[in-house]
Amino acid sequence: MTAHIIDGKSIALSVRQGLEPRVEALKTKGIIPGLTVVVVGDDPASAIYVRNKERASQKLGMNGTVLRLPESTTQQELLDIVRKLNADGSIHGILVQLPLPAHIDGQEILRAIDPDKDVDGFHAMNAGRLLNGERGFVACTPKGVMRLLETTGVDLNGKNAVVVGRSNIVGKPMALLLLQKNCTVTIAHSRTKNLADVTRAADILVVAVGRAGMITGDMVKPGAIVMDVGINRVDGKVMGDVDFESAKEVASYITPVPGGVGAMTIAMLMENTVEAAENYAGK
């Protein structure tokens, strides 16, 4: 079997096109959706993501800005900036790019963001809402994975889903979203024993680890849907956590890297920002 390749790029494009009339409708009310990305220091990987986010928001006619702060920015200075952005009515979405320099307490910064502007969905309030099944901003990457899964048309009810990785920004919210769709969810991580046995039981396998090609075809159940979240730079090439060549011979659907989950993440960020602006307009 050769898997269907899920074209994240074109699905993301259609999501962004679907947002255009919503942005236009806001503009007729005098509101331009505003997204501010705050970057501290000059992590080269972050620089690429940030540029993509800025471009995507500007392309949509939104007010996308980047605040670039020096590595030496203190906790207090960053908190003050976040509070200023919270109070600015022209800004509907605030995103503090991770990772932050080691001297900054990232959790305190994330907690300082107004949950109504937390378009990344990382604030404890939004994470808690997801846990409770309440409405709130959902982290963009797992939200994008769910959207890609939907495009397969496969009924998720009762499926065995395995999420490899348990970070707060991908693995945990991913598992909760799959649970909401009635999957039987297993979360695997670095202490998991016999990982291959666990992954081979997955009808839906989501991998978010950060190790190039660690999931090989022999670790995939025949006919499984494989969603590769990983972004790894190897010899100047971007690679996923899944060994695409061997896995695509076993899976029924698979996302490529690049052009899979990553493209959707930005589209979901745009969607969350438009939603934040709409919520603001409705206040």
For position 11 contacting ligand NDP by CB under 6 A, the verdict is no
Within residues 46-85, the interface with ligand NDP by CB under 6 A covers none
Cβ closest to ligand NDP, residue 12 vs residue 94: 12
For ligand NDP, give the closer residue by CB, 79 or 201. Answer: 201
Q: Which of residues 98-117 bind ligand NDP (CB under 6 A)?
A: none
Residue closer to ligand NDP, measured from CB, 26 or 255: 255
255 is a contact residue toward ligand NDP (CB under 6 A) = no
Residue 95 · residue 269 · CB < 8 Å: yes
Instruction: Return the number of other C-beta atoms located less than 10 Å from residue 191's C-beta.
Output: 6
Question: Does residue 230 belong to the site contacting ligand NDP (CB under 6 A)?
Answer: yes
The strand pairing partners of 36, in sequence order, are 65, 94
Residues contacting 103, CB < 8 A, separation 6+: 74, 75
Asked if residue 141 binds ligand NDP (CB under 6 A), the reply is: yes
Nearer to ligand NDP, 94 or 209 (CB): 209
Contact 111, 124 (CB under 8 A): yes
List residues bridging with 205 in a β-sheet.
162, 226
| Footprint (CB under 6 A) of ligand NDP, residues 179-208 | 188-192, 195, 208
Tell me the number of residues near ligand NDP by CB under 6 A: 25
Active-site positions? 53, 97, 120
Is the distance from CB of 159 to CB of 203 less than 8 angstroms? yes
Nearest residue (CB) to ligand NDP, 31 versus 243? 243
Kindly identify the residues of this chain, within the stretch 149-168, that bind ligand NDP according to CB under 6 A: 164-167
Q: Does 210 bind ligand NDP (CB under 6 A)?
A: yes
Minimum distance from CB of 265 to ligand NDP (Å)? Answer: 3
The neighbouring-strand residues paired with 35 are 64, 93
Diameter over CA atoms, the chain: 57
The amino acid that residue 174 corresponds to is M
Q: Does 238 bind ligand NDP (CB under 6 A)?
A: no
Closer residue to ligand NDP, CB minimum distance, 23 or 257 = 257
Please give the torsion angle defined by the CA atoms of residues 99, 105, 101 and 235, in that order, rounded to the nearest 10 degrees. -30
Q: Which residue among 15, 60, 127, 169 contacts ligand NDP (CB under 6 A)?
A: 169
Q: Are 119 and 269 in contact (CB under 8 A)?
A: yes
Residue choice 15, 19, 162, 261 for contact with ligand NDP (CB under 6 A): 261
**Candidate list 198, 209, 251, 277; residue touching ligand NDP; CB under 6 A:** 209
Least Cβ distance, residue 190 to ligand NDP (angstroms): 3
What is the number of other CB atoms lying within 10 angstroms of the CB of residue 58?
A: 13
Q: Establish if 171 lies at the interface with ligand NDP (CB under 6 A).
A: yes
H helix intervals, the chain: 8-28, 44-59, 75-87, 106-112, 124-132, 140-151, 171-180, 195-199, 244-247, 261-281
- Contact status, residue 175 vs residue 164, Cβ threshold 8 Å: no
In the complex, the residues that contact ligand NDP under the rule CB under 6 A are 141, 164-167, 169-171, 188-192, 195, 208-211, 229-232, 261-262, 265
